Structure 1
Amino acid sequence: MNTIRNEEDVKQFLKQVCSHIRAKEVHQAVKLELEGHLQDIIEEKLERGFALHTAIKEAINQMGAPELIGAEFHKVHRPRTDWKLLGLLTFFILFGLVAVFNAQVSLVQRLGSSSIGLQQVIYICVGGLLMVGIRLFDYQKIARYSWIIYFSTLGLLVYSITTGSGINGVNNYLQLGRFVVNVISISPYLFILSLAGIWSARPTPQLNESQMKLILRSLWLNFGVLLIPCVFFLKAHSLTDFILFFLGSASVLLTLKRKRNILISHVSLIFGSVIFFLLTSRHQTHSIYRWISFLKPQEDIQGFNYILTQSKKAISSASWWGHGYGTPLTTLPELHSNMMFAFLIYCFGWIAGILIFVMVIFFIIHSLQIGLKIRDTYGKSLLKGLFTLFVIQFLWSMLMSVGWAPLSAFSLPFISFNGQVVIFQFAAIGLILSVYRRKDLIGL
């Protein structure tokens, strides 16, 4: 094959073919494939007595028109756009703008002023631009920086917990000039990004590496990287982000088809860390009582179950078409964020709740479908891990509003007002689109 590669006719033929393939990433693979076919034809003709130059020309003619070959390769290996996901995202964004401005009207009547609508528009614009840029980026290049992302996220968590600002003594917020970032809420996305790269890489044993070193390295890769974030999430009193991290990392492990004992250890490790902090932290014990109180909805309706009780009352009073745009709801706190689903139903009726639920089901089904189309191990684990974070937030927020899940800080992605977190959610969607875009450019 090295003989024909340097032939001018072959070079021109391959160049013409590749000129019709937009994705430059596949050019080298296409050239190697075509060179193989040409080599087979040329060797056959040489055996029949053709001169080398004549055999090359005959082989190129037999292959066909280069523009047609290039067009076929482009059709198969062109970058893809997940239009269904973009359609679902557009629905959530538009519905979210209506929802946030609706909540703003209600809050203005209650508080006298509110600017969450304008803030949401700004965050969507910034996040949308970031999503478009990340979509065009080669996500595989991020894998090599997985450990850097992991330790950088840990560093941000430590800095936020020790020096950040917060509410009720919980330092989740990091001040960056005029901007305030909730480091705890964005860290599950960063950890999933790093773990997908760490776990999808297959470390090769070093020469003369002892069995004990192999065991210690396996323990660190499978359990150590999980335990440390768990400790910090619980130290920050953020059970919601702890759950996101737990389920997201489990999704990555299941995607990579790790051994059963690793999965069992994963669950045991995380639940063990929860029990430890419940026993050693008075604040966490109080939180867990609040979380399990939903199992007895008729008890303590003025205490732990107050918000869930008011949410169910608001939903039941809405009927099919609700009470109207911007109707005040003074009995329900956090109506613009955590309780947005209940507030939307209260204003726009059960039909609005059914519509959101149906679109979320479409989102879940679509995430499962595209997960089957990705061949790259790193891309598949990253995609499923990020999708898991979105699905948990959607489902928990809706189930919580009707009293079927514990009260938590989960909110509807892109619909509720989540502050700067929505920018990172757009970035996560950009990564998912990047994985989908390159699904036919990998593994040639």
Structure 2
Amino acid sequence: MGKRWNDFLSEVSNHIHSKEAKKFVSSELEFHLNQVKKEWMGKGLSEVEAEEKAVSQMGSPSKLGHEMNKLHKPRIDWWLISLLGITMALSFLPLISVSEELGDNFMAKKVIHVIFGVVIAVTMMFMDYRKFEKKGWVFYSIGLVFLFLLITFPNRILNGSPYIFIGPFQFESYFALPFFFLSWASIFNNSRIKLWQHLILFVLPLLLLMAVPNLVVSFIYIVMVFVMMWWSAISRKAAAIITLTSIIAAGAFGALAWFTVKEYQLARILGFLDPEKYPKSWGYTYLQLKERLASAGWFGSAAKSEALPFEHTDYAFVNLTYHYGYLFAIGLFVILSLFAARIVMISFQINSRFGHLLLVGGVTLFLVQFIYNIGMMVGLLPLTSISLPFISYGFIPMLFNAFIMGVVLSVYRRKDLIFNRTV
């Protein structure tokens, strides 16, 4: 390239503050300069003359640099960051109401959880999500290896589920979900992968999750993959056939399981369907949650009640509703709903298909937790171990949801760094 060509690119870059945008703009300008240069050479000009014409046609490098700096600087979604700040602050409330039973140690741990969550979200925001697109197989392999190690070499078994402990931190099957989230966005963005290959890639993690066993994580994984599939390059007809076939298979499996269900499992199902018949066994918790919600009132109940298990974790929503009232519960519901609404709004601004798949997967992971937790708190869904995003106490759930929002912030940050090249 000639001196004027290089000087032009250098001067434009000098007016762009972001290093990431600087590299991006330089690459795109060079691409367009080469396109214009080829056009002039096609009209009979020499290479040197064509370069001069191409550079002249671009106009003032100073003016262009200022325009590119405004247009392509990385963005920060302050709306989403504000929601993160609000919910992380509110996440201390469930502990305050049960502080006498738990002690100050849990509050100190919660501070650590929030700090780690903030670090994860900020770190992911500054990482370029586009680098993940070619590493889908790496993330997929990490997820499989982790599940295999969890099943084969657990440090401890708690409530029937295996855990791996590293220092003060404990890791369960939940930890594999972020890796499968990133991997499936990459897999679905790869048009060379056949449908039968998608099926194999889907089944392998599911078999490991069922072997853990963790039905909650399995459920979240299934919903995430199927929703992302509908937004992928797979045809709607193929997606419909796969979905319908899976629903039929799940129905058949459920019918078979019903006839082989164990007595305690049947009792849990009946306790959910008709808790009044089992007030001292499997229906007890459902009745207690119902009573808490009924006695909360618009501004909360001042009456001292016996603490329920999981009031600071899975049952945090009922805990907060009981102590702070229906108005607070409605406000909390709105705040958490705004996360999903904001991600959907961002998705309309994204031109990258990979980025769009990440947003679809991210909002699905968030909504599955949010909707199911609220649903089981009001008696519409069976009780299980699904946390209320950001509000429930727990290290891995906090990191998991902070990771999701960090990926969303990363996609938003680079929404203006995508060009649609035409050759």
Q: Aligning the two structures, in what range does the TM-score lie when normalised by the shorter sequence?
A: 0.7 to 0.9
Q: Go from structure 1 to structure 2 and tell me whether the alpha carbon gap of 1:311 and 1:36 turns closer, same or farther (over 3 Å shift).
A: same
Aligned match for 2:177, one of 173, 188, 202: 188
Who is 1:73 aligned against?
68
Cα deviation for residue 103 of structure 1 reads 4.0
d(CA) in 2 for partners of 1:284 and 1:225?
A: 31
1:107 aligns with 2:96: no
d(CA) in 1 for partners of 2:114 and 2:105?
A: 15
Who is 1:97 aligned against?
92
d(CA) in 2 for partners of 1:37 and 1:342?
A: 64
The residue correspondences of 1:176-325 to structure 2 (distance < 5 A) are 176-182=166-172, 184-203=173-192, 218-219=195-196, 221-259=197-235, 260-266=237-243, 268-269=245-246, 272=249, 276=253, 279=257, 286-287=264-265, 290=268, 293-323=271-301
Who is 1:3 aligned against?
none
- Structure 1, unaligned runs of 5 or more: 1-5, 205-216
d(CA) in 2 for partners of 1:288 and 1:86?
A: 44
C-alpha RMSD of matched pairs (Å): 3.1
1:9 aligns with 2:29: no
d(CA) in 2 for partners of 1:390 and 1:15?
A: 44
Who is 1:341 aligned against?
317
The residue correspondences of 1:114-133 to structure 2 (distance < 5 A) are 115-133=105-123
Q: Go from structure 1 to structure 2 and tell me whether the alpha carbon gap of 1:347 and 1:147 turns closer, same or farther (over 3 Å shift).
A: same
Q: Go from structure 1 to structure 2 and tell me whether the alpha carbon gap of 1:107 and 1:281 turns closer, same or farther (over 3 Å shift).
A: farther
Contact 1:240 1:409 in 2 (8 A): yes
The letter for the 2-side match of 1:202 is S
Query: How many residue pairs end up in the alignment?
Result: 413
Q: Go from structure 1 to structure 2 and tell me whether the alpha carbon gap of 1:428 and 1:285 turns closer, same or farther (over 3 Å shift).
A: farther
Q: Which string of whole-angstrom CA distances, capped at 9 and with x for unpartnered residues, describes residues 93-127 of structure 1?
A: 11112333x1441424xxxx352211111122122
Q: Which of 257-266 and 223-232 deviates more? A: 257-266
Contact 2:91 2:392 in 1 (8 A): yes
d(CA) in 2 for partners of 1:316 and 1:264?
A: 44
Q: Go from structure 1 to structure 2 and tell me whether the alpha carbon gap of 1:371 and 1:8 turns closer, same or farther (over 3 Å shift).
A: same
Who is 2:83 aligned against?
88
The letter for the 2-side match of 1:161 is I
The residue correspondences of 1:135-174 to structure 2 (distance < 5 A) are 135-164=125-154, 165-168=156-159, 170-174=160-164
d(CA) in 1 for partners of 2:12 and 2:327?
A: 54
Cα deviation for residue 192 of structure 1 reads 1.8
**Match of 1:173, SS?**
strand
Q: Which string of whole-angstrom CA distances, capped at 9 and with x for unpartnered residues, describes residues 336-386 of structure 1?
A: 100000000111111110101111222222121112222222221122112
Who is 2:405 aligned against?
429
Cα deviation for residue 19 of structure 1 reads 2.1
d(CA) in 2 for partners of 1:295 and 1:171?
A: 26
Cα deviation for residue 198 of structure 1 reads 1.7
1:417 aligns with 2:393: yes
- Structure 2, unaligned runs of 5 or more: none
The letter for the 1-side match of 2:298 is W
Q: Go from structure 1 to structure 2 and tell me whether the alpha carbon gap of 1:177 and 1:282 turns closer, same or farther (over 3 Å shift).
A: farther
Who is 1:207 aligned against?
none
Q: Go from structure 1 to structure 2 and tell me whether the alpha carbon gap of 1:58 and 1:28 turns closer, same or farther (over 3 Å shift).
A: closer
The letter for the 1-side match of 2:186 is G
**Match of 1:152, SS?**
helix
Q: Go from structure 1 to structure 2 and tell me whether the alpha carbon gap of 1:297 and 1:12 turns closer, same or farther (over 3 Å shift).
A: same
Q: Go from structure 1 to structure 2 and tell me whether the alpha carbon gap of 1:55 and 1:405 turns closer, same or farther (over 3 Å shift).
A: closer
Contact 1:195 1:249 in 2 (8 A): yes
The letter for the 1-side match of 2:7 is Q
Contact 2:275 2:284 in 1 (8 A): no
The residue correspondences of 1:352-367 to structure 2 (distance < 5 A) are 352-367=328-343
1:64 aligns with 2:26: no
Cα deviation for residue 304 of structure 1 reads 2.6
Contact 1:231 1:273 in 2 (8 A): no
Contact 1:81 1:436 in 2 (8 A): yes
Contact 1:291 1:408 in 2 (8 A): no
Contact 1:104 1:114 in 2 (8 A): no
Q: Go from structure 1 to structure 2 and tell me whether the alpha carbon gap of 1:57 and 1:249 turns closer, same or farther (over 3 Å shift).
A: closer
Q: Go from structure 1 to structure 2 and tell me whether the alpha carbon gap of 1:280 and 1:293 turns closer, same or farther (over 3 Å shift).
A: closer
The letter for the 2-side match of 1:197 is S
d(CA) in 1 for partners of 2:259 and 2:61?
A: 70
The residue correspondences of 1:378-389 to structure 2 (distance < 5 A) are 378-389=354-365
Q: Go from structure 1 to structure 2 and tell me whether the alpha carbon gap of 1:237 and 1:354 turns closer, same or farther (over 3 Å shift).
A: same
Once the two structures are aligned, what percentage of the paired residues are identical?
27
Cα deviation for residue 67 of structure 1 reads 1.9
Cα deviation for residue 421 of structure 1 reads 3.1
